């Protein structure tokens, strides 16, 4: 493997790939790594941050990833192990030598204090026109033929990565970079401006896909089948946002031979592994969204406790919640529920929200807090749920009062209203019941309904991004559970049939159950 050149300046030790010693002169000038003075923090966690530097290295704009060591144990551990920054640089060099297209970091640095490692840094070249594949493929203004080219390029790169023994734990779309994106408005590649445009040139641009972020990556002589399937399942986590055609296009590009592609039964494992990963992700966010980390804000005073998404102003949200202009929504369990519409701002964007208030005579279930946790967990699991914005619970000696804010989904209709106006076409009605069965089977991967299904619990939303889709629009009627027994599944199916009573023929009821168990058996 290509070696590293070591250079010490003040209390920072820099490592650069052999032959790139010219970078050392610019690295000497990097003395301040805290926010301000030419450092703009883009992401920040407890032990890691990602920033943009105004300073350049060898004429390139750069990002800086910082790893902080907290606690004497972690500092002592790195007396015997390499820092995360140096390991990431070495792994990316190994991947490049094996022919995997990667965005190679420029350098790694380590800051020592009293002989112990305190921080490590990774300097990464910034590609001005680059965009990660998650952002690119979910954009509405990208033509589908360009997306299909990128999906094929992603399939080939994924296979190359696996064949070369690169095991990346964070195998996700946002860890692939498209370096030469297409101009969405002029229908011309950005790098070509007004040059002659041909599909061949567009394909060449689309295939400039790079693997990035080697923080949790290992290099092995060979990967076993389960390791390959598990990483592909991680890539499939947002599969609900893509069509079956997209998935087959990816698999066709991933497979080297027609016979390998025809061996589809083993690909069914991907769905099972995918939902195991999604369930784990949802459980993690279920706990962290009330702690004030991972993009959430915890707010407390002597009157209430609030949980907010970062990017919103708590004062504005609290003002909206405290406005006493509620419409009675009804009663559910021991709670009386009121609802009102409102508008809030996130930066320069104004959004429509629904505000639900819960009141009860007795203290007990913290409904707003539980609904906040469940909806955030479902959202992390890529389940279609009304996106949560905030939850608030007031401190009271008697009774309970809480509120939940959700983004209002445009063109959302209760599923019963959709069936009422549905034309008497077997194909159309079967399509709705297919979506319903798929919706319920995916929901049961995370939990179950807390009680009987009420109007607006399940809504049909039509959008040109993902077509027709069912959403859980009132997540307070949901409870997350580790695993569902067959009896609990059957109870939920009966709840759904009771809710659709009078709208299901015997043949349609059998079709709904058949499709439900078909998908439930795949993911359970």
Q: Is residue 150 a contact partner of residue 201, using CB atoms and an 8 Å limit?
A: no
3-class secondary-structure state, position 76: helix
Picking from 270, 211, 204, the residue whose alpha carbon sits closest to that of residue 237 is: 270
User: pLDDT-derived band of residue 225, with 50, 70 and 90 as boundaries?
Assistant: confident
Task: Please tell me what DSSP assigns to residue 294.
Answer: S
CATH number of this structure's domain 4-125: 3.30.200
pLDDT over threshold 80, residue 120:
yes
Q: For the segment 232-266, what is each residue's pLDDT rounded down to a tens digit? A: 988 888 776 677 788 888 988 998 888 877 775 56
Phi, psi dihedral angles at 23 (to 5 degrees): -70, -20
Predicted confidence at residue 1, as pLDDT, reads 56
Tokens of 390: 């905030």
Distances (CA, A) of 461 to 160, 386, 498: 39, 11, 22
Q: How far is CA 205 from the centre of its chain?
A: 26
> Pairing state of beta strands 388-394 and 217-219?
unpaired
Q: What is the CA radius of gyration of the chain?
A: 26
Distance CA 25, CA 21 (A): 8
Distance CA 502, CA 481 (A): 31
What is the number of other CB atoms lying within 10 angstroms of the CB of residue 217? 21
Predicted confidence at residue 186, as pLDDT, reads 39
CATH topology of domain 412-523: Transferase(Phosphotransferase); domain 1 (1.10.510)
Establish how many alpha carbons lie within 13 A of residue 266's alpha carbon, considering only the half-sphere containing its beta carbon: 13
DSSP 138-181: T-TTS-HHHHHHHHHHHHHHHHHHHHTTEEETT--GGGEEESSP
Q: Answer positive or negative: Cα dihedral of 322, 328, 329, 335.
A: positive
Task: Please tell me what DSSP assigns to residue 267.
Answer: G
Q: Answer positive or negative: Cα dihedral of 333, 513, 462, 181.
A: positive
What is the residue extent of each domain of the chain?
Answer: 4-125, 131-262, 296-407, 412-523
Predicted confidence at residue 161, as pLDDT, reads 94
**Which segments of 214-324 does DSSP mark as H helices, in order?**
225-235, 244-254, 258-262, 268-288, 314-322
CATH topology of domain 296-407: Phosphorylase Kinase; domain 1 (3.30.200)
pTM of the model: 0.83
Asked if the domains 296-407 and 412-523 are classified in one and the same CATH topology, the answer is no
pLDDT over threshold 90, residue 458:
yes
Q: For the segment 31-72, what is each residue's pLDDT rounded down to a tens digit? A: 667 766 778 888 877 788 888 888 888 888 889 899 988 877
Distances (CA, A) of 473 to 200, 241, 491: 44, 18, 20
Tokens of 378: 């479902």
Beta bridge partners of 60: 57
Distance CA 393, CA 307 (A): 9
Task: Using a pLDDT cut of 90, give the percent of the chain over it.
Answer: 32
Q: For the segment 5-25, what is each residue's pLDDT rounded down to a tens digit? A: 888 877 788 999 988 878 888
Phi, psi dihedral angles at 47 (to 5 degrees): -125, 5
3-class secondary-structure state, position 455: coil
CATH architecture of 131-262: Orthogonal Bundle (1.10)
Q: Is residue 384 a contact partner of residue 428, using CB atoms and an 8 Å limit?
A: no
């Amino acid at each position: 493997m290509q070696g590293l050149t070591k250079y010490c300046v003040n209390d920072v030790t820099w490592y650069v790939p052999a032959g790139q010693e010219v970078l050392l002169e610019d690295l000497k000038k990097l003395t301040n790594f805290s926010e301000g003075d030419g450092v703009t923090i883009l992401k920040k966690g407890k032990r890691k941050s990602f920033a943009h530097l105004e300073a350049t290295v060898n004429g390139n704009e750069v990002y800086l990833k910082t790893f902080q060591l907290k606690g004497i144990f972690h500092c002592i551990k790195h007396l015997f192990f390499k820092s995360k920054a140096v390991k990431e640089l070495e792994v990316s060099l190994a991947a490049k030598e094996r022919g995997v297209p990667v965005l190679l970091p420029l350098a790694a640095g380590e800051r020592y204090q009293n002989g112990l490692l305190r921080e490590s840094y990774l300097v990464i070249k910034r590609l001005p026109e680059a965009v990660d594949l998650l952002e690119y493929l979910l954009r509405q203004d990208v033509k589908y033929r360009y997306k299909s080219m990128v999906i094929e390029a992603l399939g080939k790169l994924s296979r190359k990565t696996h064949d070369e023994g690169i095991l990346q734990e964070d195998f996700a779309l946002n860890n692939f970079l498209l370096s030469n994106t297409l101009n969405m408005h002029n229908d011309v590649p950005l790098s070509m401006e007004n040059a002659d445009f041909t599909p061949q040139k567009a394909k060449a641009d689309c295939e400039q896909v790079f693997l990035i972020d080697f923080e949790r990556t290992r290099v092995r002589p060979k990967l076993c089948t389960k390791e390959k399937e598990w990483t592909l399942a991680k890539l499939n986590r947002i599969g609900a946002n893509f069509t079956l055609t997209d998935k087959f296009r990816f698999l066709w590009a991933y497979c080297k031979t027609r016979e390998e592609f025809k061996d589809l039964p083993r690909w069914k494992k991907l769905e099972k592994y995918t939902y195991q990963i999604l369930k784990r992700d949802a459980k993690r966010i279920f706990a962290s969204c009330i702690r004030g980390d991972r993009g959430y804000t915890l707010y407390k005073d002597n009157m209430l406790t609030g949980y907010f998404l970062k990017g919103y102003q708590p004062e504005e949200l609290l003002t909206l919640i405290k406005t006493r202009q509620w419409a009675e929504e009804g009663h559910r369990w021991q709670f009386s529920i009121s609802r009102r519409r409102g508008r809030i701002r996130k930066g320069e964007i104004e959004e429509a929200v629904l505000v639900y208030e819960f009141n009860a005579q007795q203290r007990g279930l913290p409904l707003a807090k539980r609904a906040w946790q469940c909806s955030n967990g479902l959202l992390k699991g890529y389940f279609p749920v009304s996106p949560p914005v905030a939850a608030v619970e007031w401190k009271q000696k008697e009774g309970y009062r809480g509120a939940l804010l959700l983004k209002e989904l445009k063109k959302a209709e209760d599923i019963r209203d959709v069936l009422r106006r549905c034309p008497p076409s077997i194909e159309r009605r079967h399509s709705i019941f297919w979506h319903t069965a798929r919706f319920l089977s995916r929901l049961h991967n995370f939990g179950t309904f807390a009680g009987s299904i009420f109007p607006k619990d399940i809504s049909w939303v039509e959008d040109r991004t993902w077509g027709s889709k069912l959403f859980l629009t009132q997540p307070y009627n949901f409870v997350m559970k580790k695993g569902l027994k067959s009896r609990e599944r059957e109870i939920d199916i009966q709840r759904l049939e009771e809710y659709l009573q009078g709208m299901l023929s015997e043949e349609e009821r059998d079709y709904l159950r058949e499709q439900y168990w078909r998908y439930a058996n795949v993911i359970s």
